[in-house]
A = this chain, B = another copy of it.
Amino acid sequence: MEQRKIPEHEAIYLRIREMILFGVLVPGQPVTIQGLVETLDAGTTPVREALRRLTAEGALEAKGNRRITVPQLNISQVEELYFARLSIEPKLVQIAVPRIGSEEISSLRGIDNKLNEAISLGDIEGYLKYNYRFHFALYEAAGAGILLTLAQSLWLRAGPSLRVVLTRYGASALPDQHDVTIRALETRDLQKACGAIETDIRQGMDQVRQVLVFGETSS
């Protein structure tokens, strides 16, 4: 009694997407259609469609010679992401603050608890997962589809690099502002909530920038 609701290409898309967001695929790593066909035990057509979609979202990069890789950000790209995230994400919070319900706030608290647990266990994938869930549970409360899509694209671009930060310096290198954010939501404090998310973004992106400036790999 299999639940055949969502099409194959959609399911494949979601699987690869998580591999990127939560750090299974690392920056610079080549991604081949054939490889994924074998790894995921899927047909070529669904895999191809999933890759086109992810490439369009900026999660993957199409080199000219029809080869696909996980993007490796350079300094100026990090600056672009920095700016774009600070433009979009606090706006989502601003819209969300008056609309979010109390059940959603307690759901956020639950996610944050799991996140803290992952930190204390040094569970990097768990950290990435719950950090993502926290932010997007909040952003979804805004009910702003276009801005949400933009934010998701930005996270797909930043995800693999964040993973690099965590494997290098551990989750403790990334203090978050989730506690402050939740308290601000409870009191409907717009300024405080937006400010907290802004700080959260800055802290994360600063770390990514650091890794890039110091940890220069190849020429």
Contacts and interface: CB of A to CB of B under 8 A. Distances in A.
- Interface size on A, as a range, is 20 to 34
B53 A55 contact: yes
A32 interface: no
B52 A84 contact: no
Q: Max chain B CB contacts within 10 Å: which of A52, A66, A83, A144?
A: A52
Copies assembled: 2
A64 B91 CA distance: 28
A145 interface: yes
Given A7-B66, A87-B88, A80 B144 contact: yes
Interface stretch (A133-141, A146-154, A162-170): A146-154
9 contacts: A48-B49, A56-B56, A56-B57, A58-B149, A80-B146, A84-B88, A84-B147, A87-B87, A146-B157
